[in-house]
Amino acid sequence: MLTLVRQLPRISGGLTAALIMLIAVQVAASVLLPLAAGQLVAALTGGGPSAMPGVLLGLTLFSCVLLSDVVFDPIRAMTSARLGTAVDGAMTQRTVEGAMRPAGVAHLDDSAVADQIERARAIGLGGYPPGQAVIALAGLVPLRLGAVGSGVVLAVAGHWWMSVVLGAAWAITGHWQQREVERSVSAHGAQTAELRRAAYLRDLAVTAPAAKEVRLFGMHSWILERFTAAWWDGMVQLRRATTNWRLHSIAILLVLIAHAAVLLPLGFAAAHGDLPADQLAEALQAMLGLWAFGYTGDLVWMLHISSASVPAAVAVSGLGVAATGGSRDAEGSPRAEIRFERVRFAYPGDRPAVLDGLDLVIPAGSSLAIVGDNGAGKSTITKLLAGLYTPDSGQVLVDGYPLGDYEPASWRRQLAMVFQDFVHYPFSIRDNIGFGRVEAPPTDERVAEAARLGGFLGVEADLADGWDARLSAEYTDGTELSGGQWQRLALSRALFAVRQGAQVLVLDEPTAHLDVQAEHDLYARFLEITAGITTILVSHRFATVRLADRIAVVRSGRISEYGTHEELLAAGGRYARMFRIQSEPFAAKGGTRRAH
Ligand SMILES: Nc1ncnc2c1ncn2[C@@H]1O[C@H](COP(=O)(O)OP(=O)(O)OP(=O)(O)O)[C@@H](O)[C@H]1O
C-alpha cells in the first residue's frame, strides 16, 4: 500500500493534490457534524429569543456538512476514479515497458520474474487493478481521519478516557481483521495449487486455442467436473488459511463491552445533571464516528488486494535498467564469419546443458543447414545467435568480436528470423510483413516485394482490404489464414527485413506447413532470396537441407558432423543414416503391408 502511495504524486501530481484537499474537506465535515448537533441542542434547550443565533450557527454548521456531502463527495469520487485510471494506465505501461526492456528473454524463464509479471498483470489476484486501491484509499483515509476528529470531540464533550477505550477497542479489532485481510490477499496472490489448476481448466474452456480439441474429444463434462472440484477445494483451503472465527467473536465482544463502558457513565452523568444535553448529543454523535478506527469492510479488502500488484509492477518496471549492451555498431555484419566457440548453455533454472562445447563456423555470405534429432538444440543455437540468451561459457563471435560487444538493437537489425513458433499477429497483412523492420514504412511496393519472395503474393488479392485486411477471425471484418498461408506470411516478414538490409537470415523449419508447390517455389527462389547474405536453415526435411552450402549435425550438445551434403553422405555417419531413412521409398514399405 505504501508503494502505491509513493507512486501517486509521480503519476499525477495535480490529481493527488486535489484528492488530498477533498479528503481534508470531508474530514472537516465529519468533525463538524457532532459540533453542529451539540450547538443545536444547546441553543434549543437554552430557550428564549437568544436561541436564534445559536440555532442559526448550528444550521450553518449542518449546511457545511451537507454541502460537503452533496457537492464535494461526488467530486472526490470522480477525482479518485480518474487518479485510479491514471494509476492503472501508468502501472500497465511500466509493466509492459519493463517486461520488454531486457535485451534477451532469459528473464521470462526465471520463475520469480514470471511470477512478478503475473502479479503485475493483477491476474494472480483475480483481476483487481491498482486503480481500485486509489478509490478505496480515497474512501478510507477520510474515514480514519474523521475518526480521529470524533475521538477529540468525544474527549472534550465526554471524557478523554472514553476516546481511549473506544478507540483502542476498535483499533484492536480493526488490526486483527486487517491482518486477516493481508493473509487472505497473500494467499490469493500465491494461489493454492488447486486454484491454479482451476484457472488452467477455465482457460482451456474459454480460450480459442483449445476450443477445437475440447469439442473434438468431447471434454466438456471432464473439464467442468474438474474445474468445479478444483475451484471449491482451492477456495476451502483459502478460507481455512485466512479466516479465524474465534478472533472474530472476541472482536465483536470487545467492541460491545467498550461501548457499554462508555455509554453507561455518559447516561449516568446526563441523568444526574452532570452532563448538559448539548454535550451528551455531541458525545453520542462522536461515538458513532469512532467505528472507522476498526474494520472498514470492503474498503480495507479492496485497498489491500488491489494494491498488492503495485510492488510487483514497480519491480517489473525496473527490469533490465542496469543491463547494458555493447556499443559496437553491427551495421553490415557479418563481413567475415559467425563463430560459436566452445559454447555451453543451459536454460535458466536447474536444467541440464543443451549445448556443451559447441564449435561452429558460418562463413559470411554462405548458407548453413543445421540438422539433428528433436530436442538436440538446433533452435537454441539460433536463439543464442539472436542474443535472446547468452552462453554460460564460451562465446558467439561475429567478425571476431563477442556478440556482447555489439549494440543489441544494431545486431538485431542485421537479423531476419522466422522462429519455429512464429507469432500470428491479429493485425493487417501490411503490419504483419512490416514488423520485419518496424523503422521502414511498409509501402505497397515493399510489402508486395517481400510477399513475392515469401510466396504470399496473391493471397491479398482475394481480400476486400488487400494488404490492409485484418488477420483475425475474432473481428467481424477479419480474415483467418491457413497454417501454410501464415508460414508464407512469416517468411515474407523475414524477407522484408532482408530487403531492408538484414544480413543474416535464420529460418527454423520454414517449410513445415507448405504445400508441395509452395515448397518447390520457395526452393526455386532460394538463390535469389539468399544472395549476398548469410543464411541459417534449421530443418528436418532433406529437400530443404540440401539447399545449403554446408550442413552441421547437432548431437549431444555439439556439432558431430560438418560438411557438404555429398561429404556427409560419403562419411556414412548419422547424417547419411538420417538421409537414407527419409529417402527410403515409402511405397516399398506400404507395398509390404499391402501384401499381408
Ligand atoms: N525456454 C526453454 N526453457 C527450458 N528448456 C527449453 C526451452 N526451450 C527449449 N528447451 C529445451 O532445450 C532442449 C533443446 O531445445 P531446442 O528447441 O533447441 O531443440 P531442437 O533441436 O530445435 O528440437 P526440435 O527438432 O524438436 O525443434 C530441449 O530439451 C528443450 O526441452
Nearest protein Cα to ligand 1, atom 18: 377
Residue 561: CB atoms within 10 Å: 18
- Rounded to whole angstroms, how far apart are CA atoms 572 and 578? 10
Tell me what pLDDT residue 593 has: 44
Tell me what pLDDT residue 564 has: 93
Nearest protein Cα to ligand 1, atom 3: 347
**Sheet of 353-363, strand order:** 353-363, 337-346, 393-398, 401-402
**Are 62 and 174 contained in the same domain?**
yes
Residue 480 reports pLDDT greater than 60: yes
Residue 166 reports pLDDT greater than 80: yes
Tens digits of residue pLDDT in 50-68: 777 887 888 888 888 888 8
Residue 522 reports pLDDT greater than 70: yes
Q: Which of 289-298, 530-539, 583-592 has the highest mean pLDDT?
A: 530-539
- Give me the chain's average pLDDT, please: 84
Q: Which of 204-213, 310-319, 379-388, 506-515 has the lowest mean pLDDT?
A: 204-213
- Rounded to whole angstroms, how far apart are CA atoms 341 and 394? 6
Average pLDDT on 335-343 reads 96
Alpha helices by DSSP H, listed for 101-129, are: 106-109, 111-120
- Residue 114: give its domain's CATH number: 1.20.1560.10
Nearest protein Cα to ligand 1, atom 7: 347
Residue 303 reports pLDDT greater than 60: yes
**Are 276 and 365 contained in the same domain?**
no
Q: Measured from the CA of 376, which atom of ligand 1 is nearest?
A: 21
Whether 53 is covered by a domain: the verdict is yes
Nearest protein Cα to ligand 1, atom 13: 375
**Are 110 and 144 contained in the same domain?**
yes
Q: Which domain holds residue 265?
A: 2-98+106-190+244-317
In sequence order, the 6+-apart residues with CB closer than 8 A to the CB of 51 are 43, 44
Ligand 1 centroid distance, CA of 344 (Å): 14
Tell me what pLDDT residue 48 has: 62
Which of 317, 340, 365 is a domain's end point? 317
Please say whether the beta carbons of 252 and 174 come within 8 A.
no
Ligand 1 centroid distance, CA of 437 (Å): 27
Ligand 1 centroid distance, CA of 233 (Å): 35
Tell me what pLDDT residue 596 has: 36
- Rounded to whole angstroms, how far apart are CA atoms 570 and 554? 18
For residue 163, what is the DSSP state?
A: H
Nearest protein Cα to ligand 1, atom 5: 347
Whether 233 is covered by a domain: the verdict is no
Ligand 1 centroid distance, CA of 191 (Å): 29
Q: Which amino acid is at 207?
A: T
The verdict on whether omega for the bond into residue 334 sits within 30 degrees of 0, i.e. cis, is yes
Ligand 1 centroid distance, CA of 85 (Å): 41
**Are 252 and 370 contained in the same domain?**
no
**Are 309 and 352 contained in the same domain?**
no
- Rounded to whole angstroms, how far apart are CA atoms 551 and 231? 52
C-alpha cell at 556: 549431444
Ligand 1 centroid distance, CA of 220 (Å): 32
**Are 185 and 331 contained in the same domain?**
no
What is the torsion angle, in degrees rounded to the nearest 10, for the CA atoms of residue 66, residue 70, residue 75 and residue 81? 110
Whether 307 is covered by a domain: the verdict is yes
Nearest protein Cα to ligand 1, atom 16: 377
Burial classification of residue 326, based on how many CB atoms lie within 10 Å of its CB (0-12 exposed, 13-18 middle, 19 or more buried):
middle
**Residues, the chain:** 596
Nearest protein Cα to ligand 1, atom 11: 375
Residue 595 reports pLDDT greater than 70: no
**Are 273 and 399 contained in the same domain?**
no
Count of structural domains within the chain: 2
Tens digits of residue pLDDT in 361-394: 999 999 999 999 999 999 999 999 998 899 999 9
Give the closest residue to 542 by CA, choosing from 582, 512, 587, 573.
582
SS3 call for 573: coil
Paired strand residues for 564:
none
**Are 10 and 50 contained in the same domain?**
yes
Q: Label residue 591 by pLDDT band (50, 70, 90).
A: very low
Average pLDDT on 1-30 reads 89
SS3 call for 39: helix
Q: How far is CA 485 from CA 38, 420, 455, 490, 530, in A?
A: 80, 15, 9, 9, 21
Tell me what pLDDT residue 385 has: 95
Whether 350 is covered by a domain: the verdict is yes
Q: Measured from the CA of 554, which atom of ligand 1 is nearest?
A: 21
Q: Which of 47-51, 96-100, 281-285 has the highest mean pLDDT?
A: 281-285
Q: Which of 23-27, 176-180, 201-205, 354-358 has the highest mean pLDDT?
A: 354-358
For residue 405, what is the DSSP state?
A: G
Q: Calculate the CA 405 to chain-centre distance.
A: 31
Ligand 1 centroid distance, CA of 377 (Å): 6
Write the Ramachandran bin of 502: left for phi over 0, alpha for psi from -120 to 50, otherwise beta: beta
Is the predicted ipTM greater than 0.95, yes or no?
Answer: yes
**Are 308 and 331 contained in the same domain?**
no
**Are 277 and 339 contained in the same domain?**
no
Q: Measured from the CA of 381, which atom of ligand 1 is nearest?
A: 18
Tell me what pLDDT residue 189 has: 66
Tell me what pLDDT residue 585 has: 62
Instruction: Give the rounded percent of residues in the chain with a pLDDT score beyond 90.
Output: 32
Q: Which residues line ligand 1 (CB under 6 A)?
A: 109, 347, 351, 354, 372, 374-380, 420
Residue 400: CB atoms within 10 Å: 10
Whether 492 is covered by a domain: the verdict is no
Q: Label residue 396 by pLDDT band (50, 70, 90).
A: very high
Tell me what pLDDT residue 590 has: 47
Whether 486 is covered by a domain: the verdict is no
Q: Measured from the CA of 105, which atom of ligand 1 is nearest?
A: 1
Tens digits of residue pLDDT in 562-577: 999 999 999 999 999 9
Tens digits of residue pLDDT in 69-128: 777 877 888 888 888 888 888 887 888 787 777 777 777 777 777 777 777 766 555 667
Nearest protein Cα to ligand 1, atom 17: 379
Residue 550 reports pLDDT greater than 80: yes
Q: Which of 19-33, 204-218, 307-321 has the lowest mean pLDDT?
A: 204-218
Nearest protein Cα to ligand 1, atom 25: 374
**Are 278 and 381 contained in the same domain?**
no
Whether 570 is covered by a domain: the verdict is yes
Tell me what pLDDT residue 193 has: 67
Q: Ligand 1: which of 108, 113, 354, 392 to mutate, judged by most atoms within 8 Å of the beta carbon?
A: 354
Of 56 and 162, more confident: 162
Rg (CA), the chain: 35
Tens digits of residue pLDDT in 431-463: 999 999 988 999 999 999 999 999 999 888 888
For residue 291, what is the DSSP state?
A: G
Which of 254, 286, 317 is a domain's end point? 317
Ligand 1 centroid distance, CA of 413 (Å): 25
Ligand 1 centroid distance, CA of 347 (Å): 9
Q: Label residue 337 by pLDDT band (50, 70, 90).
A: very high
Tens digits of residue pLDDT in 205-256: 777 677 777 777 778 888 888 888 888 887 777 666 666 778 777 887 888 8
Which of 317, 338, 373 is a domain's end point? 317
Q: Which of 11-25, 179-193, 509-523 has the lowest mean pLDDT?
A: 179-193
Whether 471 is covered by a domain: the verdict is no
**Are 372 and 260 contained in the same domain?**
no
Ligand 1 centroid distance, CA of 380 (Å): 6
- Residue 342: give its domain's CATH number: 3.40.50.300
